[in-house]
């Protein structure tokens, strides 16, 4: 996996060809008891890495739609503290396979919406899970690929990455967050301008308009380093911060403040809070357990 965290090609079932179980591999890179064809998924030291692996351009076809939903289930596992999505060096994802839209011409509108919900629920799952999810964006990241990145919490792009929504080229709009999530990051003016024109921007411009949070020469390495540091943070505090910030995006300030208060009162009762206080008094690094 180009130096990533362990071999992640998955075997069918919950037992590997060498007879080892998932439990017997917990001390090393984790391989999962399900088969993926368009993704590489691994878990090591609390970090779940999901690499899009659907040559040649990581198109989100029917298989990947279902597998992304399964990958979100992996991120929900207790052993995972942080999720990282990556692609290839020259392409994160070009979005939906055009062939899928050709096939969809024979579907009813109800069938199309049902199919879209597969991917939509995966994106919603990434937003709702109480764990940070990072997207490392290198090369081309457009259409549904960018919508996947928008569902993550922090986007890290290379300076020469290519980002945008070219859906108008086939007479469509960004339909799974490219309008709704995009506008919350960049504002309605820039969102409409980029969607109307189909303009593609590089990583530096994406950071200027608020589409990505960080620009790094090696986004994957930067994301994994960031994920490592997040694993040292108190999981409940990080997770609740994500939930409150996301909720604040969709509600009034008074209600959001109430949610903050409830979250804080919950965290005051955690072992991690007590450990943080002890570590501060003892002038040492805290060891958070998530309890």
The set of catalytic residues is: 147, 167
* 57 alpha carbon, distance to own chain's centre: 18
CA dist 8 and 89 (Å) reads: 18
Nearest to 95 by CA among 162, 46, 144: 144
* Three-class DSSP labels, 46-111: CEEEEEECCCCCCEECHHHHHHHHHHHHHHCCCCCCEEEEECCCCEEECEECHHHHHHHCCCCHHH
CA dist 185 and 188 (Å) reads: 9
């Amino acid at each position: 996996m180009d130096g990533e965290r362990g071999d992640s090609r998955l075997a069918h079932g919950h037992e590997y060809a060498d007879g080892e179980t998932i439990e017997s591999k917990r001390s090393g890179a984790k391989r999962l008891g399900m088969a993926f064809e368009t993704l590489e998924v691994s878990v090591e030291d609390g970090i779940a890495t999901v690499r899009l692996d659907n040559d040649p351009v990581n198109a989100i076809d029917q298989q990947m739609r279902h597998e992304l939903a399964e990958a979100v289930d992996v991120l929900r596992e207790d052993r995972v503290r942080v999720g990282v999505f990556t692609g290839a060096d020259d392409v994160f994802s070009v979005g939906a396979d055009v062939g899928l839209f050709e096939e969809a011409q024979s579907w009813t509108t109800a069938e199309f919406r049902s199919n879209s919900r597969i991917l939509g629920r995966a994106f919603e799952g990434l937003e709702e899970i109480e764990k940070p999810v990072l997207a490392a964006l290198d090369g081309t990241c457009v259409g549904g690929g960018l919508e996947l990145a928008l569902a993550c919490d922090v986007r890290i792009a290379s300076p020469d990455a290519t980002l945008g929504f070219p859906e108008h080229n086939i007479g469509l709009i960004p339909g799974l967050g490219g309008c709704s999530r995009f506008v919350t990051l960049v504002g309605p003016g820039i969102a409409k301008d980029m969607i109307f024109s189909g303009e593609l921007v590089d990583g530096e411009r994406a950071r200027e308009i608020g589409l990505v949070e960080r620009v790094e020469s090696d986004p994957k390495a930067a994301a994994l380093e960031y994920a490592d540091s997040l694993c040292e943070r108190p999981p409940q505090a990080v997770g609740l911060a994500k939930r409150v910030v996301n909720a604040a995006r969709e509600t009034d300030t008074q209600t959001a403040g109430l949610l903050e208060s409830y979250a804080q009162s919950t965290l005051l009762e955690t072992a991690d809070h007590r450990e943080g206080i002890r570590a501060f008094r003892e002038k040492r690094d805290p060891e958070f357990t998530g309890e």
